[in-house]
């Protein structure tokens, strides 16, 4: 599935499509820059989603507080259960570098789409 296809599929979900960047998120992106947001996304995915087993899987990603957190929920990349349901990524297996990079690219695409729509 391409990023464009994934984003279109996610728009069909009432829950996933309910997430949007706030004016505070836009200001944060303006202040930090998209490169910093992408670095944060890589770090969050590496630490909170990539391990094979996550102690608090299903509740490790807040719904607010950072643009990447909102993107994770909007893109169904918030926990291993959602990754499995939406993208057939198996649980109990550490995410590869390539899988992590694809997730980050999806998240940043969603953030950029939201940013360009709401700025």
Domain boundaries, the chain: 3-118
What is the structure's pLDDT at 88? 95
Q: Above 90 in pLDDT, residue 13?
A: yes
Q: How far apart are CA 3 and CA 110, in angstroms?
A: 9
| Cα→Cα distances 23→29, 37, 89, 102, 115, Å | 10, 16, 33, 27, 10
- Per-residue model confidence as pLDDT tens digits over 14-73: 999 999 999 999 999 999 999 999 999 999 999 999 999 988 787 778 888 899 999 999
The H-or-E segment that residue 113 falls in is helix 97-118
Q: What is the mean pLDDT of residues 108-113?
A: 97
Summarize the confidence of residues 83-99 as an average pLDDT. 95
Segment holding 8, helix H or strand E? helix 3-11
- Does residue 119 register a pLDDT over 70? no
């Amino acid at each position: 599935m391409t990023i464009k296809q994934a984003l279109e599929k996610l728009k069909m979900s009432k829950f996933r499509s309910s997430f949007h960047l706030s004016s505070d998120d836009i200001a944060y992106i303006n202040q930090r820059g998209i490169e910093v947001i992408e670095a944060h996304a890589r770090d969050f995915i590496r630490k909170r989603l990539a391990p094979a087993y996550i102690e608090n899987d299903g509740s490790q990603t807040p719904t607010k507080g950072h643009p990447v957190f909102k993107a994770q929920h909007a893109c169904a990349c918030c926990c291993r259960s959602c990754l499995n349901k939406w993208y057939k990524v198996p649980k109990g297996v550490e995410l590869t570098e390539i899988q992590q990079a694809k997730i980050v690219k999806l998240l940043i695409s969603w953030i950029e789409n939201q940013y360009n729509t709401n700025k």
